[in-house]
RNA sequence: GGAGGGAUGCCCGAGUGGCUAAAGGGGACGGACUGUAAAUCCGUUGACUACGUCUACGGUGGUUCGAAUCCACCUCCCUCCA
């Protein structure tokens, strides 16, 4: 990772201090631009799913910080590119989504991040743009003449993304080859429409970003900029944001605020300081204090991280509630309300309940969980898979608690 | 258009007629140790009305007492040549 230059502008100074800086196309010029004017900047997101996940969080935080520094963030949704179907996933041909699905995805994504960014018409309000607006209308020959002529195949062949494939004798479709052209074109289009001069992205998109900058110079004689963030991995090397249940989604209907809080609470020791800088807005002095905590005390720092990160995504109230629920569930062993809750008709077999609660995918899995001594009913291990649970298991609040392992708890309410 | 190669469980990947619900690895889950961490060790990892039954090695048929393994056709993917 290149060392971050000493920036003068508020935004870049913060950006670098928070560990979000990886590389920049023209650091001095961009710094000057930030110091001089309100900058419009964009980051592109795929809209194949109805929610973004934690993997996009560094980018979203970049937009948030831009906004806080008084600049204008653009959230570019790849509605157009999604229609073509991104082939880069290698084997499985991705299903091509209908325009209706894409539209629904966009709205859901937007809803999921409403605490993170303020959208609107104000000078530094975020705007949502869909590249289908222009990509859909492209005509092949005019596009080739106006845009295609600026791309040298010779140079495209040297781009890492392409070169790697060719070196390994892996296939690269023409569509895929064109992806970077479309992405480059997005940048120019956003410059024309919104005066957008900066594209931010993960470091893996560097080639595409540079193509856009190049195209801007050729077509518009404009100086555009690229700013990338590092790829975030956990200190043990895993890609961040994957857990048992799959991706850690940002939308509350996919991953509840409580589970989201838990995700951050379970951060590895070595990542606490780094994540506090990247994913919260606590002052540096506070972070410096927290990351120095040793041993079990570091857990306090993780709780702060969890609450702060959850507050940014779901709001302060939801974050505090999640923290409180966790405290009661883990530290007092209570079946705190606020835990994920299901309703069921009692009496019912323990296997059915475990499956209904999402603690096991099938009866077989539930049996195995019991065989491994991992399923608990009201904090007591269940040993008999044929156990029938009736109303006598309910506690004074009229619920019972089922747990898989030490961390996953679900409340069951009688229907 | 021609010639080859391939498709195995969540993923990678062995397996070329019975010993195969399918080696090994990864991942995941549970247990132990801990601090709701990491590392390590142990166990589990197709389903079900569960010492049994059913379903499974791209699809459909066939050969055989018996097929992931052999044959035919089909689908998809890849490589090379033109």
> Which domains can be identified in chain A, with CATH numbers?
10-229 (3.40.50.620), 256-331 (1.10.240.10), 341-414 (3.10.290.10)
| Distance between the alpha carbon (CA) of A371 and the C1' atom of B43, Å | 10
CA of residue A317 to C1' of nucleotide B41, angstroms: 42
CA of A386 to C1' of B51 (A): 16
Is residue A300 within 8 Å of residue A267, measured between CB atoms? no
DSSP code, position A257: H
Angle value at C-alpha A295, between A309 and A262, nearest 5 degrees? 30
- Please name the nucleotide lying closest to A262, CA to C1': B36
d(CA A147, CA A19): 35
* Residue A274 zone, left/alpha/beta (φ > 0; ψ -120 to 50; rest): alpha
For residue A84, the model assigns a pLDDT of 61
Q: What is the DSSP string of A24-39?
A: ESSHHHHHHHHHHSPP
Return d(Cα A186, Cα A236) in angstroms, integer: 36
Q: For strand B, give the nucleotides within 7 A of a protein CB.
A: 12, 28-32, 34-39, 43-50, 77-80
User: How open is the CA angle A95-A206-A238, to the nearest 5 degrees?
Assistant: 70
Radius of gyration of chain A (CA): 24
3-state secondary structure A213-231: HHHHHHHHCCCCEEEEECC
Spacing of A406 CA from B25 C1' in Å: 28
Q: Within 13 Å and on the Cβ side, how many CA atoms surround A326?
A: 26
Q: Which residue in the block uniquely carries the two structure tokens 């910080």? A: A65
Residues 6+ apart with CB under 8 A from A404: A354, A359, A360, A369, A374, A375, A376
Q: Output DSSP code: residue A88.
A: G
Pairing of strands A40-45, A198-202: parallel
Protein residues closer than 7 Å by CB to strand B: A 91, 93, 169-171, 173, 236, 238, 242-244, 262, 265-269, 295-296, 298-299, 302, 326-327, 329-331, 351, 361-365, 367-369, 371-374, 404-408
Q: Which residue has the closest alpha carbon to B28 C1'?
A: A244
Question: How high is the pLDDT of residue A169?
Answer: 60
**Alpha carbons within 13 A on the beta-carbon side of A140:** 0
Residue A356 in tokens: 């209904």
- On the CB side of A180, CA atoms within 13 Å amount to 27
What pLDDT was estimated at residue A68?
95
Is residue A194 exposed (0-12), middle (13-18) or buried (19+ Cβ within 10 Å)? middle
Provide the 8-state DSSP code for A227.
E
Structure tokens at A145: 């003449």
Which residue has the closest alpha carbon to B79 C1'?
A169
- The gap between A173 CA and B73 C1' (Å) is 30
pLDDT for residue A160? 72
CA of A297, C1' of B73: distance in angstroms: 68
| Residues of chain A with confidence (pLDDT) below 70 | 1-3, 83-97, 164-173, 237-246, 333-336
pLDDT at A174: 74
Distance A248 CA to B27 C1' (A): 16
Nucleotide nearest to A87 (CA to C1'): B77
Under 8 Å between Cβ of A32 and A91: no
Render pLDDT for A152-178 as a digit per residue (tens, 0 to 9). 888 887 777 777 666 666 666 677 777
* Token pair of A360 as six digits: 């096991």
Q: What is the pLDDT of residue A16?
A: 95
Q: Which nucleotide is nearest to A261 (CA to C1')?
A: B36
Q: CA A396, C1' B18: Å apart? A: 60
Whole-number distance in Å between A235 CA and B38 C1': 9
CA dihedral sign, ordered A391, A329, A240, A279 = positive
């Amino acid at each position: 990772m290149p060392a971050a230059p000493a920036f003068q502008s508020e935004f870049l100074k913060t950006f670098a201090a928070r560990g979000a800086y990886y590389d920049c196309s023209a650091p001095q010029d961009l710094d000057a631009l930030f110091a001089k004017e309100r900058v419009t900047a964009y980051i592109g997101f795929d809209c194949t799913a109805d929610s973004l996940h934690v993997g996009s969080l560094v980018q979203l935080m970049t937009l948030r910080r831009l906004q806080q520094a008084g600049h204008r963030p653009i959230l570019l949704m790849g509605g157009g590119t999604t229609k073509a179907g991104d082939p880069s996933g290698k084997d499985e041909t991705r299903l091509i989504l209908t325009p209706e699905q894409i539209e629904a995805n966009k709205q859901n994504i937007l809803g999921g991040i409403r605490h993170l960014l303020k959208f609107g018409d104000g000078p530094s309000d975020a705007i949502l743009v869909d590249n289908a607006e222009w990509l859909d209308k492209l005509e092949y020959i005019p596009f080739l003449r106006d845009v295609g002529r600026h791309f040298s195949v010779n140079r495209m062949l040297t781009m890492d993304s392409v070169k790697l494939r060719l070196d390994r004798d892996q296939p690269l479709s023409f569509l895929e080859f064109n992806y970077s052209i479309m992405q480059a074109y997005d940048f120019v289009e956003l410059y024309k429409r919104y005066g957008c001069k900066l594209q931010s992205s993960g470091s893996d998109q560097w080639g595409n970003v540079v193509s856009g900058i190049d195209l801007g110079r050729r077509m518009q004689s404009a100086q555009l900029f690229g700013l990338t963030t590092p790829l975030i991995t956990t200190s043990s090397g895993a890609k961040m944001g994957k857990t048992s249940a799959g991706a850690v989604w940002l939308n509350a209907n996919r991953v509840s605020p409580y589970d989201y809080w838990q995700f951050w609470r379970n951060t590895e020791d070595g990542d606490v300081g780094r994540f506090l800088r990247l994913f919260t807005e606590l002052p540096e002095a506070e972070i410096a204090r927290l990351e120095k905590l040793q041993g079990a005390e570091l857990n306090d720092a993780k709780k702060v991280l969890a609450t702060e990160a959850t507050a940014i995504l779901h709001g302060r109230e939801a974050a505090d509630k999640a923290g409180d629920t966790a405290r009661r569930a883990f530290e007092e062993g209570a079946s705190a309300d606020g835990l994920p809750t299901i309703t069921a008709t009692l009496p019912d077999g323990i296997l059915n309940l475990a499956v209904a609660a999402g603690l096991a995918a099938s009866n077989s899995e539930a049996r195995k969980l019991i065989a491994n001594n991992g399923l608990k009913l009201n904090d007591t291990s269940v040993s008999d898979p044929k156990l029938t649970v009736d109303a006598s298991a309910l506690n004074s609040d009229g619920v019972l608690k089922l747990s898989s392992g030490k961390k996953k708890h679900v409340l069951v309410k009688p229907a």
